Structure 1
Amino acid sequence: MIEVYMLRLDERKAAALYEVMLNCVSQGKREAAGRFRRPIDAYRSVTGEILARLAATKRWKLSNAELSFYKNDFGKPLLDNPSIDFHFNVSHSGDWVVCAFGDFPVGIDIELMKPQDLSIAERFFAPVEYNRLMSLAGSRQLTYFYQLWTLKESYIKAVGKGMSIPLDSFSFLIEEDGEVAASLEAGASAAYFMQTFADEDHALALCTFQQTEPIFKELDYEELESLLSMLH
């Protein structure tokens, strides 16, 4: 089973909870958060780790003190406990922070669909994707670009090899009904994808290696504040 925690950022409420959240994350995350110039970026980063910690305490009944994370050679965060088969992935953009978690590898990506120079697609997308993108009209192009981008990001994050997998070495076709057809690189394991939207401005995609219906749970700050007590 895969679950997804989602939190819509509220800068004022995030600021009010920030010191409490900082006390629940690792020293490394606190130091990294301190290097952000904009407070909202620090809030996104810290909230991402908070959601991961809440996910681990829920799924495995671990105390926060037992949780330690590290990154693999490609930068993917992992739980530093080989005896526990817990997998998670975090993404944040614009107004949202999301965390997918479960018992097998998972990748998630969310993107604010801001204006974009679509010529970047010719460089990073497979020819079949680029041609389909260029065949679309008007605002549909921008939406389709972000649908493809989030799918690609979710896949390389699930695999855990980051940009060492060329983005044009695999491709997606998104049908009008939202169905996703994937053509993966040679030798790739079978993967399953969901592409959706957090709201009208944010595209979201999920990749897993077992076919499952993910459970989405949107948290608000009142619930988050209550849940933080689990991390003390």
Structure 2
Amino acid sequence: MIEVYMLRLDERKAAALYPDMLKYVSESKQEAVRRFRRPIDAYRSLTGEILARLAISKRWQLSNNELSFCKNEFGKPLLDNAAIDCEFNVSHSGDWVVCAFGDCPVGIDVELMKPQDLSIAERFFAPVEYEMLMSLAGNRQLTYFYQLWTLKESYIKAVGKGMSIPLDSFSFLIKEDGEVAASLEAGASAAYFTQTFADDDHALALCTFQQTEPIFKELDYEELESLLSMLH
């Protein structure tokens, strides 16, 4: 089973909960969070780890003290406990922080769909994707760009090899009914994709290696504060 926790950021509420959330992460994470120049960036980063800790604690019945994170050679965050078959991934952008988790590799990406110089697509997208993108008009073009971008990010995050996988080595076609057709690089494992929107301004994509319907749960700050007691 694949689950996704989603939280819409509220800067005032995040600031109020910030000191309490900070208590539940490692000293190195606390230091990293405090280095952000803008408070909102600190809130995004900290909330992402808190969502991961809550998800793992609840799903795998672990206390917060048992949770220690590391990264693979490509920078993908992992639970530093080989005895637990736990996979998770975090993303944040604009107004949203999201965390996907389950018992198979997962990758998730959320992006604020702000104005973009679409010439970047020619450099990073496969030719078939770029041609499709250029055939669209108006706002649909920008939306389709972010749909493709989040799909690509979700895939390389699920595989766990980051940008060592060229973004133009695999491609997607998003059909009119929203179905995603993927053409992955040679030798790739079968992957399954969900492309959706957190709201009108944020594209979101999920990649898993398990063919199952993901469960999305949107949390609010009252629930988040209540769930923090799980981490004691």
Q: Which TM-score band (shorter chain)? A: over 0.9
Query: Structure 1, residues 63-117: CA drift from partner, whole Å, max 9, x if none?
Result: 0000000010100000000010010000000000000000110000000000000
* Matches for 1:123-202 after TM superposition, within 5 Å: 123-202=123-202
User: Could you tell me how far apart the structure 1 residues matched to 2:7 and 2:25 are?
Assistant: 17
Matched, 1:46 2:65: no
Structure 1 residue ranges (4+ consecutive) displaced by more than 2 angstroms after TM superposition:
none
Q: TM-score, normalised by structure 1?
A: 0.99
Secondary structure at the aligned position of 2:203 is classed as: strand
Aligned-residue CA RMSD (Å): 0.4
Query: Structure 1, residues 122-169: CA drift from partner, whole Å, max 9, x if none?
Result: 000000000000000111000000000000000000000000000000
| TM-fit CA distance, 1:26 | 1.3
Q: How many residues align?
A: 232
User: Could you tell me how far apart the structure 2 residues matched to 1:165 and 1:78 are?
Assistant: 19
Secondary structure at the aligned position of 2:45 is classed as: helix
| TM-fit CA distance, 1:210 | 1.0
Structure 2 residue aligned with 1:19: 19
Equivalent AA in structure 2 for residue 7 of structure 1: L
Q: TM-score, normalised by structure 2?
A: 0.99
Equivalent AA in structure 2 for residue 159 of structure 1: V
Structure 2 stretches lacking a partner, 5+ long:
none
User: Could you tell me how far apart the structure 1 residues matched to 2:213 and 2:37 are?
Assistant: 38
* Matches for 1:1-232 after TM superposition, within 5 Å: 1-232=1-232
| TM-fit CA distance, 1:37 | 0.3
Equivalent AA in structure 2 for residue 58 of structure 1: K
Structure 1 stretches lacking a partner, 5+ long:
none
User: Could you tell me how far apart the structure 1 residues matched to 2:167 and 2:99 are?
Assistant: 23
